[in-house]
Structure 1
Amino acid sequence: MATVEVNVGNWRTTLTGGWVLIKDVKAPHVLEIGEFAVTEHNKEAKTELKFKSVVMGATEIVNGVKYLLVLAAMDGAVTKYYEAGVYESCMGYKKLTSFKHILG
């Protein structure tokens, strides 16, 4: 089992299992997953966050791919940071599994 530590400012989490850090957070598919997370959160929470970037993230392969991303999003004129969990099946189906404010 691998242990991955993720740190952003004062926020920190440790992932155990088969998590692997994403090396290129600007890769088109990673950005697509980040935009999906913000869009789905907006639908569920009736908010109007604007996706800005993926700051960092990790993936775990489990009959599909689980993503844990730290996202930057605009809340009005303020940049805030969020932790988002997304599951993507082998068939391309995506589901937002978690979304929480962590900084800003």
Structure 2
Amino acid sequence: MVYYGTSVFYPIIGKSHDQIVRYAAGAVRQPVFLINDAIAPLPDGGIPQDTKIALLDDREHVVTVQLSNSSAQFSQSHKDIAVVCALNGWLEVKQ
């Protein structure tokens, strides 16, 4: 069972969905991907249009992105990853 804590939605700048997920995966201990709600490896070559990708760490939600959506859903406890993504120009994060 996946634990979804309190979430925060941040606007994504441009088409940075793939960069956000890949950075976040490298920043957590044990990254697991849910691709359209099933455990699967992260697709090479970017995120397909109709795909929802959720990144988990030890069964705790970190971030969810979908190419057709202009915001990323971050767990409140992983705002530090969102801030780094904002510094890289991928998200708009206002404190």
TM-score of the aligned structures, taking structure 1 as reference length: 0.29
Please identify the structure whose Cα radius of gyration is greater: 1
Higher relative contact order (CA 8 A, sep 6+): 2
Q: Which has the higher strand share?
A: 1
Q: Which has the higher helix share?
A: 2
